[in-house]
Amino acid sequence: MDKRIINAAIAILFSIAMIVILFTGCGKAKEDIVTNKDESADIIAESEPDTSLPTSEEEIIDEEEEEAPSEEKTEEKREEGQAISDTFDQGVSYILRSGGVTPEIDYETIKYKAAERDSELQVNKKAPKEIEERLKADKVKKIRMHRSGNGATLDFDVYTDPEEGYIDKIVSTEYGSEGREVTGFYYKNGELLYTYRYLDDLYGINADDARKSGGQRCFFVNDFLSECYATYGESNESVTAASYDTVNPDIQKEYDDLEAELINRAYVNYNTLKDIPSTAKVYGYVADEYGGTLANTKVTISSEANGYKKSVMTNGDGYYEFVVPINTADWYNMLFEYGDFADSEVNDICIRPRTVEYPIGVTYMAPEGNNKHDKKTFLLDVTKQSPDKLREDQYEVVLSYNTEKISGLKPFTLDLNSGKYETHDNQIITVDSGTDYKYFVTDQVNGKSGNDMTNDMSLSEVQVKVYNKIGLVASFQVPVGNSGVVWEVFEVKGSEIIPSNNYYFQSGKNIFFK
């Protein structure tokens, strides 16, 4: 939307500029937005969905007590609204049907249209809060897709009621040149009730500030847009279906376009994602003892508890990949076989829920009798206990790497609530599990010198291991063959560890390399 219109926004409740802001997917200034994804690596930033309502919206909901909308349905599209059971067998079946290819989602084709507006019907302002309460018991899965048309990568966090089978909430994160557009959709029995949207940078720095710069929230009833709120500075501006006839045709078109887009996107998301189970891409490289790539290595991944086994051959670059179901019953094991070389194994691969990609790193192989590299690797060696000094609510995070290949790697933590960040000099740090934060590894030497497109860190056998008071709980290997100086490793929300494994070059605010 033209910036001069936004600048004209001053104090009149239904001024055209305020309404235009309302209908724009707003965000931070361009110079504050990260625009540096490593597209060549096809490893894109994970979303960190915000399941809480903006403070300003909570105030609106608290101030207004509204009647719940009629339960009458206007479309047949919700008759089959329950999601499939997200089980290992469902994952296997889906991978066979899809061929393990990242699915596409189509927003360009208009499949679902808004119903006729009835300005007499009032929205249920309490619905978002009621749904948020239900989310505490919901099952959550993350699905990665590509958008047809522009090819953008989207991550979806899907919250499903385990008893009823209906999706309660979907948070989509679309990565673009100006950052990431985060949109939340709330449903009741498959019917859209509420949406929010804001534009944030790729690192999730203080999402509340992003919403205050232009957060948008819209209420729906019986499949039409009833009213919206936009946060601009410290104030809220609203537009309702009842005021539609009082504004000029340009503003009416803005309203119509927003309604059409959100209705179509909400039900495309719902009806697509309800049939997709949790899966993750597992990938890596195989090399000989000198680092040369090994093509035509047989790589087998298996899960004993699920009776599952799948084999592939490495390509000319020594690269392999699998798409596998999220495995909560046990850990995956991998076997590498190449000619008369000694077999190698990578065991205890723990693919945690909400993982979309899991890099294994480089697996080295050598002729029989050459012990330069271990033949067995245990990513989660539970015999290694963390220090007794840890409290129940703490994690110890240990960074290790091959110092012969690189120097100057440092941990970086970001508090997602306050926006405060810190570069740590120690490779071992202790953090509280009750804080929402992200953990990164940064290449300080190359980052400070401006050598952003180096692949030094990705080829330096970097590992991050997370311990609690009992022992090792998570292990992460750096994505191999990527250019960049920032590795986003994982996020902690409460006590939950959510894998990221994303790789970037540069940073919008240069916060990593001061």
Helix 55-63 and helix 127-135, axial crossing angle in degrees, nearest 10: 120
CA distances from 383 to 380, 391, 467, 470, 511 (A): 9, 19, 12, 10, 37
Site of tokens 């309404």: 19
Residue range 23-49: mean pLDDT, rounded: 31
DSSP annotation of 28 reads S
pLDDT tens track for 5-16? 334 333 333 333
Work out the percent of the chain whose per-residue pLDDT is above 90.
Answer: 39
Q: Do domains 278-379 and 381-514 have the same CATH topology?
A: no
Q: The tokens 């994690």 sit on which residue?
A: 395
For residue 211, give both structure tokens.
């919403």
Helix, strand, or coil (residue 503): strand
Least confident span in 61-70, 303-312, 357-366, 414-423: 61-70
- 3-state SS assignment for residue 135: helix
Tell me how far the alpha carbon of residue 296 is from its chain's centroid.
Answer: 33
Confidence tier at 282 by pLDDT (50, 70, 90): very high
**Is the confidence at residue 72, as pLDDT, over 60?**
no
What sign has the CA pseudo-torsion 264, 268, 271, 277?
negative
Distance between CA atoms of 421 and 412, rounded to whole angstroms? 7
C-beta of residue 378 within 8 angstroms of C-beta of residue 333: no
DSSP secondary structure string, 250-275? HHHHHHHHHHHHHHHHHHHHHHHHTT
Q: Is 222 left (phi over 0), alpha (psi -120 to 50) or beta?
A: left
Asked if the model's pLDDT at residue 74 lies above 50, the reply is no
pLDDT score recorded for residue 401:
92
**pLDDT confidence tier of residue 36, bands split at 50, 70 and 90:** very low
The radius of gyration of the chain from alpha carbons, rounded to an integer in Å, stands at 24
Structural domain boundaries in the chain: 3-68+79-87+101-273, 278-379, 381-514
For residues 133 and 374, the model is more confident at 133
Structure token pair of residue 474: 């998570």
Sign of CA dihedral 385, 391, 392, 398: negative
Going across the sheet that includes 421-423, the strands are 421-423, 409-415, 437-443, 486-493, 496-504
Over residues 101-136, the pLDDT tens digits come to: 999 999 999 999 999 999 888 888 899 999 999 998
Residue 33 — pLDDT band, cuts 50, 70, 90?
A: very low
Give the pLDDT score at 221: 94
Continuous segment of H or E residues that includes residue 409 = strand 409-415
What would the mean pLDDT of 408-437 be, rounded to a whole number?
A: 87
170: left (phi over 0), alpha (psi -120 to 50) or beta: beta
Q: Comparing 20-34, 148-162, 323-337, 474-488, which segment has the lowest mean pLDDT? A: 20-34
DSSP string, 424-440: -SSSEEEEETTS-EEEE
pLDDT on residue 381: 60
Q: pLDDT per residue over 120-177, tens digit each?
A: 888 888 999 999 999 989 999 999 999 998 888 999 999 999 989 999 999 999 987 6
CATH 2.60.40.10 fits 278-379, yes or no: yes
**Is the CATH number 2.60.60 carried by domain 381-514?**
yes
Per-residue HEC secondary structure of 322-373 comes to EEEECCCCCCEEEEEECCCECCEEEEEECCCCCCCEEEEEEEEECECCCCCC
Mean pLDDT of the chain: 79
- pLDDT category, 467, cuts 50, 70, 90? confident
Note the pLDDT of residue 385.
60
Lookup: tokens for 28: 């931070």
pLDDT for 19: 37
Quote the pLDDT of residue 394. Answer: 87
pLDDT of 382 reads: 55
- What integer pLDDT is reported at residue 16 of this predicted model? 36
Task: Give me 299's structure tokens.
Answer: 């790589």
For the chain, what percent of residues have pLDDT higher than 70? 75
pTM: 0.77
pLDDT of 233: 55
**CA 464 – CA 410 distance, rounded (Å):** 11
Asked whether residue 67 carries a pLDDT value surpassing 80, the answer given is no
Contacts of residue 30, defined as CB under 8 A and 6 or more positions apart, other chains included, come to 178
* Of residues 437, 439, 457, 438, the one with CA closest to residue 447: 457
Q: CA-based angle 223:227:229, to the nearest 5? A: 130
Q: At CA 408, angle to CA 406 and CA 413, rounded to 5?
A: 125
